[in-house]
Amino acid sequence: MTARDWKNLVLGSVLLGIAALLPLTGDAYAIALGVNIAMYGVLATSWALFSGPTHYISLATAAFFGVGTYVTASGIDVLPYWALPPLAGIIGGILAGIVGLATLRLSGVYFVIFTLGLAEMIRQIVTWWQNATGHKGSYVLTDLTENHIYWQLLGVAALVYLAGWAIGRSRLGFALRIIGDDEQVASHVGINTAVSKVALFIVPGAVAAIVGAMIAPRYIYIEPSTAFTPMLSFQVVIMAMLGGTGRLWGPIVGVIPFTLLWEVISVSFPNQTTLLLGLCFLLIVYLLPNGFVGLFEKIRARALSKEAYQ
Amino acid sequence: MDIIVTGLLLGGTYALIATGLNLQYGVARIMNLANGEMLVVGGFTAFALYTGAGISPVLTLFIVAPLAYVLNWAIYRVMLRPLVKRAKSRGMLEQESILTTFGLSFTMVGLMLWIFGGSYFKYSFLARPFVLFGDNYGLNRIVAFLCAVIICGALYLWLNHSRAGMAIRAVAVSPESARLVGIDVPKLSAHAFAIGGAVTAMGGAVISTFLTLDASTGVIFTMKALIIVIMGGVGDIRGTIIAAIILGVGETLVASLINPGLTLAAAYGMFILILLFRPQGLFGRKPV
């Protein structure tokens, strides 16, 4: 580890430590918002780990998240709570592996289309199975408060950042950046492109399932339509791209303003959230192709080159 | 028997929608994920004209088609052409067009929710029974099927037996080579995109006669159309029609034998099989 790595590590831990103090304010609204930001932050950052370097847009977040909530919903009476998020992670990872094996051998479009409908398909199957076996939703009753959920999510966030940092420096991360630049070159230099992509796709799958399992106690009553909301996948994509997927800290830069904006819009204009989502997509494509991170780096580069001339 | 006929009738309208998408993706190289919304716009127009002015949905087709053509042409020129120009590779264009058309799709849904609200739209048109092979079918479904057959047939003949159609097929095969033989690729791409949008909007007007639509149903149709296009092979109208019928029949089978809530799961099952065994489409050739 270089001196710069140490500096980043200390800076990251200090920021997380400050974020962990939020529940001490005792402001219920701020904590609820904090849980949202932590949840989207973890989801968007783990999403960017795979989709950032490869440019494969995954819309499967809602599917893995829903699977995670269902792991908690169906396991809470049988197993102790602490065993459920890791179990959800394993199941989510396996599911991501299967999805990856089926679609990632092919071009990006197939992958996008497949992930687009995945949440809806699993929702239909869960609904059907519940109707067939005769029970509707299930209750998740725990004594966990919002504060506990918030701290758990921060813990996952720390793990995701560490994992992202490690992957970025590993052979796997390097291989994926080559794949993202030019898949043909990657296969010519001897990278097993399919295996690398599937291996990394398992990370966001597992993380989204863990987050779903942790959020489940917040919902209390779980039914398919609350667990599998297709909108979640799109929100995560927007936030990550708005922040910028080129840097590990990029997505969170998009998550915070977007979550606040979403909150404002859904309180005052509940019917316009879809429109907001659409306009943000267009904004990203036409004005902010590399997100806030790209904008920031462009400004910095311009400032630096100006200095050089003087 | 009645399952197969119902499936066939449904497949006919699916073919119409998927043909529209196939023209947009196969020729203009735009993976248009706002396709379903264009369908809903077509359906809403038919609804508004029927309930407001009493114009038959079959006549509405002649109003919807030119309007959708102009609208899609404008979308291509203003929003998508710059992306085509700046894209360095086909993969990059696909990425960007996916994001843009998602944005477009959500914007359209948002606008429709704003204007029409979130309620369902249904009107009663030709809701009379029609006896075919001893079973009863809604007359509106039969009329819709006939409309789809006529439009698809016309499109097929035009693409395969006219000069303009040949130029469009040439662009679908290879835009670079098409340019060498003097085809104006940008102009033709815009044209194909607009025709594709018009066909989809007509499909929407046709489908609204027997299905209930609301502002946010578009994405379901987009999914189905995408699955059909991939199953039938990109740029292959004949494959699209056959795949649409397979999907229509398969869906109806699952809906009537197992559970109507599983239609998308059924479509997905077929999609997975195609991805695993014939990713180049039913009639596509294996890439060398």
User: Is residue B282 assigned to a domain?
Assistant: no
Confidence at A203, pLDDT banded by 50, 70, 90:
very high
Q: Provide the token pair at B36.
A: 């379903």
Residue of A108, A113, A272 lying closest to B110 (CB–CB):
A272
Query: From the centroid of its chain, how far is CA A31?
Result: 20
* Residue B260 near chain A (CB below 8 Å): no
pLDDT exceeds 60 at position B110: yes
User: Is residue B92 assigned to a domain?
Assistant: yes
Return the H-helix or E-strand segment holding A254. Answer: helix A250-268
What distance in Å separates the CA atoms of residue B178 and residue B168, rounded to the nearest whole number? 9
Dmax (CA) of chain A:
76
Average pLDDT over residues B56-76: 86
What pLDDT shows up at residue A39? 92
ipTM reported for the complex, 2 dp: 0.81
User: Is residue B196 assigned to a domain?
Assistant: yes
What distance in Å separates the CA atoms of residue A34 and residue A40, rounded to the nearest whole number? 10
Residue of A108, A114, A274 lying closest to B110 (CB–CB):
A274
What distance in Å separates the CA atoms of residue B219 and residue A170, rounded to the nearest whole number? 39
User: Is residue B162 assigned to a domain?
Assistant: yes
Instruction: Please report, rounded to a whole number, the percentage of residues in chain A having pLDDT higher than 90.
Output: 16
Taken in order B36, B101, A53, A164, the sign of the CA dihedral is negative
CB contact under 8 A, B100 and A276: no
Residue in this structure with the two tokens 């001893």, named with its chain if needed:
B134
Average pLDDT over residues B58-66: 84
CB contact under 8 A, B106 and A274: yes
Confidence at A94, pLDDT banded by 50, 70, 90:
very high
CB contact under 8 A, B275 and A106: yes
User: Is residue B287 assigned to a domain?
Assistant: no
Four-CA torsion A216, A219, A225, A230, nearest 10 degrees: -70
Interface test with A, best of B96, B273, B275 (most A CBs within 10 A): B275
Domain count, chain B: 1
* Residue B261 near chain A (CB below 8 Å): yes
What pLDDT shows up at residue B127? 62
CB contact under 8 A, A274 and B279: no
Give the SS3 label for residue A138: strand
Average pLDDT over residues B23-46: 86
User: Is residue B283 assigned to a domain?
Assistant: no
Task: Give me the domain span that covers residue B228.
Answer: 2-277
Interface test with A, best of B30, B35, B98, B220 (most A CBs within 10 A): B98
- What is the rounded radius of gyration, in angstroms, for the C-alpha atoms of chain B? 18
Average pLDDT over residues A253-269: 86
pLDDT exceeds 90 at position B87: no
Residue of A121, A273, A284 lying closest to B268 (CB–CB):
A121
Instruction: Please report, rounded to a whole number, the percentage of residues in chain B having pLDDT higher than 90.
Output: 2
Beta-carbon count within 10 A of A105 CB: 17
Q: Compare all CA atoms of chain B with the CA of A230 and give the residue at the minimum distance.
A: B219
What pLDDT shows up at residue B288? 44
Beta-carbon count within 10 A of A247 CB: 21
Within chain B, residue ranges assigned H as helices are 2-26, 35-53, 57-75, 81-86, 90-116, 139-161, 163-173, 175-180, 185-207, 218-232, 237-257, 263-277
Domains and CATH numbers, chain A: 3-256 (1.10.3470)
Which residues of A are less than 8 Å from B21 in CB distance? none
Which residues of A are less than 8 Å from B104 in CB distance? 278, 281-282
What distance in Å separates the CA atoms of residue B17 and residue B243, rounded to the nearest whole number? 12
pLDDT exceeds 90 at position A91: yes
Closest CA to A65 of A259, A253, A228, A183: A228
**CB pairs < 8 Å spanning A and B:** 121
* Residue B273 near chain A (CB below 8 Å): no
What pLDDT shows up at residue A42? 92
Chain B nearest CA to A271, separation (Å)? 7
pLDDT exceeds 80 at position A147: yes
Question: CB-based contacts of A26: which residues, under 8 Å, 6+ apart?
Answer: none
Average pLDDT over residues A117-138: 81
Confidence at A110, pLDDT banded by 50, 70, 90:
confident
What pLDDT shows up at residue A225? 81
A291: left (phi over 0), alpha (psi -120 to 50) or beta: left
User: Is residue B190 assigned to a domain?
Assistant: yes
Q: Compare all CA atoms of chain A with the CA of B277 and give the residue at the minimum distance.
A: A102
* Residue B62 near chain A (CB below 8 Å): no
Residue of A57, A108, A278 lying closest to B110 (CB–CB):
A278
Residue of A106, A272, A281 lying closest to B99 (CB–CB):
A281
Chain A nearest CA to B271, separation (Å)? 8
What pLDDT shows up at residue B132? 65
Taken in order B11, B67, B61, B124, the sign of the CA dihedral is positive
Interface test with B, best of A184, A274, A277, A290 (most B CBs within 10 A): A274
CATH of the domain at B39: 1.10.3470
What distance in Å separates the CA atoms of residue B209 and residue B148, rounded to the nearest whole number? 13
Which residues of A are less than 8 Å from B100 in CB distance? 281-282, 285
Average pLDDT over residues A47-67: 89
B188 φ, ψ (degrees, to nearest 5): -70, -35
What pLDDT shows up at residue B170? 84
Name the packing angle between helices B139-161 and B57-75 (round to 10°): 50
Chain A nearest CA to B205, separation (Å)? 24
* Residue B91 near chain A (CB below 8 Å): yes
Beta-carbon count within 10 A of A184 CB: 9
Which residues of A are less than 8 Å from B94 in CB distance? 107-109
CB contact under 8 A, B114 and A272: yes
Do the beta carbons of residue B171 and residue B7 sit within 8 Å?
no
What distance in Å separates the CA atoms of residue A254 and residue A238, rounded to the nearest whole number? 8
Query: From the centroid of its chain, how far is CA B105?
Result: 14
Average pLDDT over residues B217-246: 85
Do the beta carbons of residue A247 and residue A165 sit within 8 Å?
no
CB contact under 8 A, A110 and B230: yes
Residue in this structure with the two tokens 């910028």, named with its chain if needed:
A244
Residues 64-83 in B contacting A (C-alpha not used; CB under 8 Å): 82-83
CB contact under 8 A, A128 and B262: yes
User: Is residue B230 assigned to a domain?
Assistant: yes
What pLDDT shows up at residue A140? 76
Question: Residues B38-55: pLDDT tens digits?
Answer: 898 888 888 888 888 777
